[in-house]
Amino acid sequence: MDLLACALLACGLLLLATGALPAHAAGDVARRTAPLLAFLATVIVMAELTGRAQVFDVLAGGISRVGKGSYARLFGLCVLFASATALILNLDTTAVLLTPVMLAMAARVGIAPLPLAMTTVWLANTASLLLPVSNLTNLLAADRVGLSAGGLAARMWAPQAAVIAATAVCLWTLYWRRGRRGADAYVPTAAFRPADPVLFRTCALACAGFLVAILVAPVPLWADSLAAALVVVVAFALRRPGDLRLSLVPWRLLIMVPGMFLVVETVNVHGLHTLLTHAMGTEEGAGGLFRSASVGAGLSNVLNNLPVYLAGEAAVPDGNRDQLLAFLIGTNVGPLVTPWASLATLLWFERCRTAGVKVPLARFVGTGLVLAVTGTAAATAALVLSG
């Protein structure tokens, strides 16, 4: 991951230095990525310190007790919890804040962490279709086609329900069933008491305030995460200053994301827009919608879903609302195969790495391909049938 991050940034800077990427295009990349980088840095520091304050351990223990030792009940709870956080908040926040809860639950209950981790990353992506706040691409799409939050939800509820159902089936079949998880039941843990109640309460309130601010405060997402991170950092500075280290900052992501955007923008300048225009066409019938969704999903796994959506949006003719929404489905649901396909997946890998959880890459790619195909197809079919 470190080598890939450095290589991407070096490649992007080389493209800029040689003129392959025009300076004005690089400036646009900088303006787009600066808020993302601010959000990345602050939300990950907040999540890491909140984990050290044992907030996630308390939440994990509560979920495991509600599950009452039944894997089927625990599975349902995890699917509902992950879906709700992605729908109401957004996929990146879900990846950062819910992944530690799931991994803490696995550690405390003594069950395999991979099924819980995969539940988070898959639903963070696939359950992000319904509301503008669920995904940055949704905000862009709703603005482009003139839909309010209620209007977007009214048009996308069927695709969203279909893809959550497809995700649940794939999760159970590929990760949660008896032959995969290796146990019939688990033993719920007793109520967990944090070592420092003051630090625990402060960090829990900071997280809760962050989540509320996302929903109600008319400020950028990075400003919400910065305010919450400052509260948490101050609390640790007063209670446990030894935990504040530069290693908390996600350096590899802060290097990788700008490099990735510079490379993709270069590709866009040199023909990606033309390629997308020809690949998607202009048809709004069932065939055209499946075609647009497939292009969005495929290119998102090759490049990254956010820059692919931005390029694809410009390639969709004005007035082709359903074609744009089908392309949105592809860029939201499809990027499950490669680790760099969405920012949420990158954040998830970072949280898993920090927790010491190994994710077999071959299995991640293979099972992700299964869900990317079935989930994109299910959501697009629902869009067609509900139109």
Residues 302-357 have pLDDT tens digits of: 988 988 888 888 788 888 999 999 999 999 999 999 998 998 898 899 889 888 89
Computed from CA positions of residues 187, 191, 196, 199, in that sequence, does the dihedral angle turn out positive or negative?
A: positive
Per-range mean pLDDT, top range of 36-40, 183-187, 208-212, 376-380:
376-380
Percentage of residues in the chain having pLDDT higher than 70: 99
70, β-bridge pairs? 185
What letter does residue 193 receive in the DSSP assignment? -
185, β-bridge pairs? 70
Strand, helix or coil for residue 269 = helix
pTM: 0.80
State residue 131 phi and psi, 5-degree precision.
-115, 155
Percentage of residues in the chain having pLDDT higher than 90: 40
The tally of CA atoms less than 13 A away on the side-chain side of residue 32 is 20
What is the CB neighbour count within 10 angstroms for residue 354? Answer: 18
**Is the Cβ–Cβ distance between 375 and 333 less than 8 Å?**
yes
Closest CA to 146 of 344, 325, 329: 325
Work out the mean pLDDT of the chain and round it to a whole number.
Answer: 88
Confidence of residue 182 (pLDDT cuts 50, 70, 90): low
Computed from CA positions of residues 7, 11, 13, 14, in that sequence, does the dihedral angle turn out positive or negative?
A: positive
Give me the helix-helix angle, 221-239 and 197-216, nearest 10°.
170
Strand, helix or coil for residue 303 = coil
Q: Which residue has the tokens 């109640």?
A: 197
Query: For the stretch 175-184, what's the b/e string if a residue is b when 16 or more beta carbons lie within 10 angstroms of its beta carbon?
Result: bbeeeebeee
